[in-house]
A = this chain, B = another copy of it.
Amino acid sequence: MRVRLKDIANATGFSTNTVSLALRKSPLVAEDTRDAILKAAADLKYRPNEIAKSLVSRETHSIGLVLTNIINPILTQTARLVENALTARGYTTVFATSSNSIELEKKVIEAFCARQVDGILIYPTDHHQIAHVSALADYNIPVVVLAARPPENINAVSLDERLGAYRATRHLIELGHRRIGLVEGISNADNLEKTQGYELALSESGIQSQPGDIVKLEGFSTPFGYEGMNILMQQPDPPTAVFCVTDPLAIGVMEWCREHDLNVPGDISIIGFDNIEFAAYASTPLTTVAYDAHRLAYDAVDRLISIIKSGGTPPAPVHEIIEPEVLVRKSTGKPRT
């Protein structure tokens, strides 16, 4: 059925070894025999079996990419950029989502190891429960984490989410807002970077945040944003501005405003996070926290590959942190006086 080296060997009368060498263009084999072998290979439509190669070379030229879920467009974009970067370097991308479950995340990592991926790129479900990720580094499996401030022993290329949140909140404060809501996602994990940035900006300005001003939803997509805004606005004296930890959340918030005839930014200011493509085209163009996602993906891939290539002696772990900036569009403005 499938043609193997042996079939070419039989067809040409050479040994499998010679065939193997010829196909890899070894200078050891005579030109005539090489040509004959190449021709036979082409005739038989030979395709090398990478699995067999991998077994002996102990490398699969594949890397595992683990993301929490791919609903958030920014993770989609990351997936795309990573795949591009990897392809450009001759690696294939094996893809999996953890669906924000630590258990699943562990399983996925297991599966990748079993499949002998050459390395793993991961955006962990919970930025603080990553013992299982550190373990990879201990086992000498190259890994780069896409989250900020991980343990010292692992490599990371990531966005400074805390700083982004801080800047978003400061932007609102500088516009004059004093009551600023926070719309957060998933509460089972413990990624407090954004919340911390938000709180830091507030306390720095001597603003006391109201208990009802922080809403935590079960996810990061648009409908959750809508729901979050609904909760936020139940208060007798609601905020005049809202910081949403993702753009889809912000778009949901904006949708709520549209349905309830609240003008953005006249009645309420909204700022998102990630600068997804659609942010610019929302009903009110969305002010958001932007950063160089391309660089993030490419640097992470470069880092991973340099670890892989380094062989037995991996370079000292590096934490590269990318700084986000506030990108002002139309959804934020001064509060009504």
Q: Find out whether the CB atom of A97 lies under 8 angstroms from the CB atom of B115.
A: no
Mark each residue of chain A from 110 to 153: 1 if its CB lies under 8 Å from any CB of chain B, else 0.
Answer: 11011110000000000000000000000010000000000000
Question: Is the beta-carbon distance between B95 and A93 smaller than 8 angstroms?
Answer: yes
Which B-chain residue is minimally distant from A107 (CB atoms)?
B87
Please state if A60 and B70 are interface contacts (CB–CB under 8 Å).
Answer: no
- Set of chain B residues within 8 Å of A254, measured between Cβ atoms: 281
Per-residue contact bits, chain A 246-290, to B (CB 8 Å; 1 contact, 0 not): 001001101100000000000000000000011011110000000
Most-contacted residue by chain B among A51, A84, A113, A114 (CB, 10 A): A51
**Is A316 at the interface (CB under 8 A from chain B)?**
no
* A: contact size bracket: 35 or more
Q: Mark A311-330, 1 if CB is under 8 A from B, else 0.
A: 00000000000000000000
Q: Is there an interface contact between A114 and B48, defined as CB atoms closer than 8 Å?
A: yes
Contact present for B83 and A70 (CB under 8 Å): yes
A70 near B62 with CB under 8 A, answer: no
CB pair A50–B83 under 8 Å, yes or no, is: no
Residue from B92, B252, B280 in contact with A94 in the complex, judged by beta carbons closer than 8 Å: B92
Known: A96-B83, A281-B282. A115 touches B222 (CB 8 A): no
| A110 to B116 Cα, complex, angstroms | 21
Task: A48 to B111: give the CA distance in the assembly, Å.
Answer: 10
| Chain A positions 57-105 with a Cβ under 8 Å from a chain B Cβ | 60, 62, 69-71, 73, 76, 79-80, 83-84, 87, 92-97
A28 at interface by CB-CB < 8 Å: no
In whole Å, how far is A84's beta carbon from the nearest beta carbon of chain B? 8
**Residue A49, interface by CB 8 Å:** yes
* Residues of B contacting A26 in the complex (Cβ-Cβ under 8 angstroms): none
- Look across to chain B and name the residue whose beta carbon is closest to the beta carbon of A225: B281
Please list the residues of chain A having a beta carbon within 8 angstroms of any beta carbon in chain B. Answer: 1, 47-52, 54-55, 60, 62, 69-71, 73, 76, 79-80, 83-84, 87, 92-97, 110-111, 113-116, 140, 221-222, 248, 251-252, 254-255, 277-278, 280-283
- Some 17 contacts from A to B, beta carbons below 8 A apart, are A48-B114, A49-B116, A50-B116, A51-B51, A62-B94, A70-B80, A70-B83, A73-B76, A80-B97, A92-B115, A93-B95, A95-B95, A221-B277, A254-B281, A278-B278, A278-B281, A278-B282
